[in-house]
């Protein structure tokens, strides 16, 4: 080994060891833990621990609350992803117009909610969404619409949380879209304009092809993010009303740290991982195909 190789290993060893001990080992153990009946008795005395094979998984599949959590999570993703992409893309297109004043300032303002503390802004939105005194219902009733029991009605609890999530995070994808939009040459827009294309035709034929791969990638990354929703229901609804906002991660948390069924909770974690993995593989496959088409 040369002295440079020795130095290199010295440089990477601390990071690799930390990753191995605090990331790889726990993730692998999670799989093993999911094959045991680790519960509060095993927590007190390890001799109570038994291997039970796939029993946690079969029990999960028979647990209506688990399916409810899966259903809620999918609902969050199915409505949340298009909504947040539309908001991000809309804001990016507006901000990309040269005639908009103070663009750098708006860019920072739109992004600011993303860096705020999730728990604090969730508490804040709880009050904005309040049925009786909330500003949102005040706005609705003042234009003649009925007040909505946002967080108290199982049919509006998911949209209510989504309003908050989109407000908080649209700036992130907006910045990514803006960066890509700025790579579209002005000459292309100019040429299309000279050919008589209106704003919508220009969007469809010039802008959209340029940003399509990014839209796709961002949407699939967002799905993974929606699968990891936890603090929002924890703070805003505690999973309610009628368990309409229990997400998979929330279900895992309750199973693991409220009921101390760590074996079963690990099975939930692993199912979550498989879901995210499948989505990510899909992302890779799609981006590879798109990349193939372009070259």
Compute the distance between CA of residue 160 and CA of residue 268 in angstroms, rounded to an integer.
26
Compute the distance between CA of residue 290 and CA of residue 212 in angstroms, rounded to an integer.
9
Spatial contact of 188 and 206, defined as CB atoms under 8 Å apart = yes
Question: 140 CB contacts (<8 Å, ≥6 apart)?
Answer: 146, 147, 148
> Does 83 help bind another protein (rule: CB under 8 A)?
no
Q: Work out which of 75, 184, 224, 286 binds another protein, going by CB under 8 A.
A: 224
Q: Work out which of 167, 216, 219, 287 binds another protein, going by CB under 8 A.
A: 167
Closest alpha carbon to 154 in 75, 57, 253, 263 = 75
Which among 78-86, 150-158, 260-268, 285-293 is the span making contact with another protein, rule CB under 8 A?
260-268
Q: Work out which of 40, 112, 208, 212 binds another protein, going by CB under 8 A.
A: 112
- Complex with another protein: residue 158 or 269, whichever CB lies closer: 269
Spatial contact of 255 and 239, defined as CB atoms under 8 Å apart = no
**Considering the complex, what minimum distance in angstroms separates the CB of residue 53 from another protein?**
18
DSSP lists the bridge partners of residue 51 as 36
> Does 117 help bind another protein (rule: CB under 8 A)?
yes
> Does 134 help bind another protein (rule: CB under 8 A)?
yes
Q: Work out which of 228, 242, 290, 291 binds another protein, going by CB under 8 A.
A: 228
> Does 201 help bind another protein (rule: CB under 8 A)?
no
Compute the distance between CA of residue 236 and CA of residue 126 in angstroms, rounded to an integer.
6
- Complex with another protein: residue 80 or 134, whichever CB lies closer: 134
Q: Work out which of 44, 82, 86, 116 binds another protein, going by CB under 8 A.
A: 116
DSSP lists the bridge partners of residue 36 as 51
């Amino acid at each position: 080994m040369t002295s440079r190789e020795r130095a290199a290993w010295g440089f990477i060893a601390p990071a690799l060891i930390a990753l191995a001990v605090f990331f790889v080992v726990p993730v692998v153990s999670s799989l093993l833990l999911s094959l045991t009946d680790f519960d509060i008795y095993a927590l007190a005395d390890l001799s109570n621990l038994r291997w039970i094979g796939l029993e946690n998984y079969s029990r999960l599949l028979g647990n209506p609350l688990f399916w409810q959590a899966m259903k809620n999570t999918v609902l969050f993703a199915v409505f949340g992803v298009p909504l947040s992409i539309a908001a991000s893309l809309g804001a990016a297109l507006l901000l990309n117009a040269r005639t908009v004043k103070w663009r750098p300032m708006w860019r920072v303002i739109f992004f600011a909610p993303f860096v705020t503390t999730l728990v604090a802004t969730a508490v804040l939105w709880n009050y904005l969404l309040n049925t009786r005194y909330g500003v949102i219902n005040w706005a609705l009733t003042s234009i003649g619409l009925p007040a909505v029991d946002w967080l108290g009605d199982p049919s509006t609890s998911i949209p209510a949380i989504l309003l908050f999530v989109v407000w908080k995070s649209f700036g992130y994808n907006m910045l990514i879209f803006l960066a890509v939009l700025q790579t579209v040459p002005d000459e292309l827009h100019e040429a299309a304009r000279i050919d008589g294309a209106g704003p919508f035709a220009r969007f469809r034929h010039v802008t959209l092809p340029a940003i399509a791969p990014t839209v796709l990638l961002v949407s699939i990354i967002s799905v993974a993010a929606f699968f990891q929703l936890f603090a929002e229901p924890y703070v805003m609804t505690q999973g309610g009303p009628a368990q309409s906002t229990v997400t998979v991660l929330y279900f895992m948390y309750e199973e693991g740290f409220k009921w101390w069924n760590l074996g079963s909770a690990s099975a939930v974690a692993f199912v979550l991982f498989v879901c995210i993995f499948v989505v990510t593989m899909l992302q890779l496959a799609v981006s590879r195909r798109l990349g193939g088409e372009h070259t």
